[in-house]
A and B are shown apart, each in its own frame.
Chain A
Amino acid sequence: MISLALAYLRDRPLTTALNILLLAIAVAMLVLLLQLGNQASERLEGDAEGIDLVVGSKGSPLQLILSSVFHVDQPTGNIPLSSLELLRADPAVARAVPLALGDNFEGYRIVGTDSSFGEHYRTEIAQGRAFDAPLEAVFGATVAAETGVTLGQKFVGSHGFAEDEADEQGHDHAPFETVGILAPTGSVVDRLILTSYESVWDVHGIDHDHDHADELESEERNDGHSHDADHAHDSEHGHASGHDHSGEAAEPDNPPEQSRRGSILQASDSDLEPELTALLVTYRSASGAIRIPAMVNRQTEMQSAVPATETARLIDLMGASIDGIRLFAWLLAATGGLAIFVALLNMARSREGDLALLRVMGASRVQVIATIILEGVITAAVGALIGWIGAHLLIVVAQVNSATLADLGLKAWSPAAGEFALIAAVLAIGAIAALLPAVRVYRTDPARVLARN
């Protein structure tokens, strides 16, 4: 019966090909959407994992998250180094990772940070060692593989975030040295080059006191109380005094302290002191979520953004258009089903004689109907298969040709969970499309057909 169904399909190649094409396009679109939806949101969530808050300069919060968590957009601006100290001193903060962005090497971002970065992303060194001295750099796994960098190799970063800017503004005077390569993490880190933030200042010719930076860090580590840290603690413990409640959930603030702190930060800003781009903050306790953003946002030149919120907004944003495309794809699939239906109905009419002959030759009703339903299902199955393969090939091609798409982390050959359901649905469309023509054939009396001929 299968060979008979195939024979009938081959008998009208154009119609069959057209129906298959319709379904293939629909399936390809749906698979791509599934892959994009699943893997992109998985990837977004993975990269943002453990980051409760991002602190950066004022601007679009989405842009802040994109640039400092996903490393895809331009940073919003700079924040003073002292903000790192301020946040690290806060007891509600478990970890604050500094980021100094601004340069790239062959299109891969150079991220100035410190050892807390590795702690946060749980990186492991595959070769060499962590960066230590200024201008030492550690490569993420993907960057290392793509650029073919080796330990000890020197390289020069260029200003900006895209490769083609290299010619205009190379930092020839301060070459980096590769001291380590990270093991793959499956996260955004694979595509980054890590160095100390002092190194980033060095290549930009920003004067800074290495000792001072070290001092800040050691102070923090010793739980030493610098002036900022003191204030931070004061405000923490000062809630009993509780004037100027700003919002029901927020803890009480101390306006004089706040303004003093602000002035310190402002001073550091206007001094053209070394700056950072953003801080990735992990809370120690839930109280941080209430107090820290409020505290940061009161600094006029800083803002805080919650990755989870912005990611959700981003997914919502994509979601609207994805929903539109998905609707279109399902309509296309339905059209494919309709085309199969029309083709089979026409066929059932023109083939009445054939089917009557089959019945006379002893084929049971079930066998004859099975032929027709098989035709629908085979058409749908071939369409689904071609569409599925096409979609995955497209992903492979896209990954080869576009770093941005590769960055989205689409896994070309790992079927998303929904894909099986999708293919089952398309097969069902094929079967349903064949059902009515099949019923029609079921009702036909071979004797009548023979009598009519």
Chain B
Amino acid sequence: MQLTVDGVTLSYGDRRVLSDISFSLNPCEQALLLGPSGSGKSSLLNIISGLQTPDEGSVSLGGADMADDGDATRKHHMGIIFQTLKLVSALNVRANLLLAQKLQTGGVDRNLVEATLERLGIADRAKARPFELSQGEAQRAAIARAVVVRPKLLIADEPTSALDLVNTESVARLLIESAEESGAMLLIATHDDRLRSYFARTISLSEGRLAA
């Protein structure tokens, strides 16, 4: 399955935020979307996941144009980790994972849930409610929530912004391992240069344009 971003342009009113963005990810490819704050990373990820429609250009995943049935494509093939929204507040970590599975795949795979919690080192926090988690634990739980649906594309927006160096490294590793394990493409948006070393490919975004 391949991700293709083709000539995406977006303006908020008169302000152009994204200009003619084009790139593609091959199956299982992992890439870093690097750019300073306000460069349009979140906007681009929202367009890729079909939550926002671009003014011009298109996004397709596995040949399916996001403009046609983005909701279904996102639901079935994407695991998304947002900058701040990580879990449903009323449910504990395990229930969050099960709900994600139920909503996105229509079924429940308890073994996968437990294995994922174990692998991300939060098995002992499975019964904790989101507000009881530390930033690092919450980020891991969010990764677990995105991974248990066996996505083809794993998207993470600033997954390490609130973390210290140790946690940043471990979260980056876990994201990379998880993507490899489920055979998913990985696209991480960040302004954090430290992550550059983990990725073979870096897509640099500056004032809404791709830099070389």
Name A residues whose Cβ lies closer than 8 Å to a Cβ of B.
Answer: 4, 7-8, 10-11, 351, 353-354, 356-358, 360-363, 446-447, 449-451, 453
Contacts and interface: CB of A to CB of B under 8 A. Distances in A.
B115 to A, nearest CB: 20
Given A4-B91, A362-B74, A446 B99 contact: no
Interface of B: 42-43, 46, 49, 51-52, 71, 74-76, 80, 82-85, 87-91, 95, 99-100, 103-104
A445 to B, nearest CB: 8
Q: Which 6 A-B pairs have the closest CB atoms?
A: A362-B75, A447-B51, A453-B84, A7-B90, A11-B90, A8-B90
A363 B104 CA distance: 8
28 contacts: A4-B88, A4-B91, A4-B99, A11-B90, A353-B85, A353-B89, A354-B90, A357-B87, A358-B88, A360-B49, A360-B74, A360-B80, A360-B82, A361-B75, A361-B99, A361-B100, A361-B104, A362-B71, A362-B74, A446-B51, A447-B46, A447-B51, A450-B46, A450-B51, A450-B83, A451-B43, A453-B83, A453-B84
Residue among B71, B76, B87, B88 with max Cβ neighbours from chain A (10 Å) = B88
B88 A360 contact: no
Contacts of B85: 353-354, 356-357, 449-450, 453
A447 B43 CA distance: 9
Nearest to A358: B88
A451 B91 contact: no
A10 B92 CA distance: 12
Contact of A354 (B75, B76, B89): B89
Nearest to A364: B71
A450 B71 contact: no
Contacts of A446: 51
Contacts of A10: 90
A453 B157 CA distance: 11
A361 B91 contact: no
Contacts of B90: 4, 7-8, 10-11, 354
A450 B95 CA distance: 22
A351 B90 CA distance: 9
B51 A360 contact: yes
Given A357-B82, A451-B42, A363 B103 contact: yes
Contacts of B83: 450, 453
A10 B85 CA distance: 21
Nearest to B145: A361
B47 to A, nearest CB: 9
A446 B83 CA distance: 14
A359 to B, nearest CB: 9
B82 A450 contact: yes
Contacts of A353: 84-85, 89
A363 B99 CA distance: 10
B46 A451 contact: yes
Nearest to A9: B90
Contact of B88 (A357, A449, A450, A451): A357
Given A10-B90, A354-B85, A449-B85, 10 more contacts: A4-B90, A4-B99, A357-B82, A357-B85, A362-B71, A362-B104, A363-B103, A450-B82, A450-B83, A453-B82
Contacts of A354: 85, 88-90
Contacts of B76: 362
B21 to A, nearest CB: 17
Given A362-B103, A453-B84, A7 B49 contact: no
A5 to B, nearest CB: 9
B44 to A, nearest CB: 12
Given A361-B100, A447-B46, A351 B89 contact: yes
Residue among A10, A356, A363, A450 with max Cβ neighbours from chain B (10 Å) = A450
A354 B89 CA distance: 7
Nearest to A452: B84
Contacts of A351: 89
A451 B44 CA distance: 11
Contacts of A362: 71, 74-76, 103-104
Residue among B42, B51, B52, B91 with max Cβ neighbours from chain A (10 Å) = B51
Nearest to A8: B90
Contacts of B75: 361-362
Contacts of A453: 82-85
Residue among A11, A354, A361 with max Cβ neighbours from chain B (10 Å) = A361
A11 B83 CA distance: 24
Contacts of B51: 360, 446-447, 450
B95 A7 contact: yes
Contacts of B74: 360, 362
A216 B152 CA distance: 106
A362 B52 CA distance: 15
Contacts of A7: 90-91, 95
Contacts of A357: 82, 85, 87-88
A449 B84 CA distance: 11
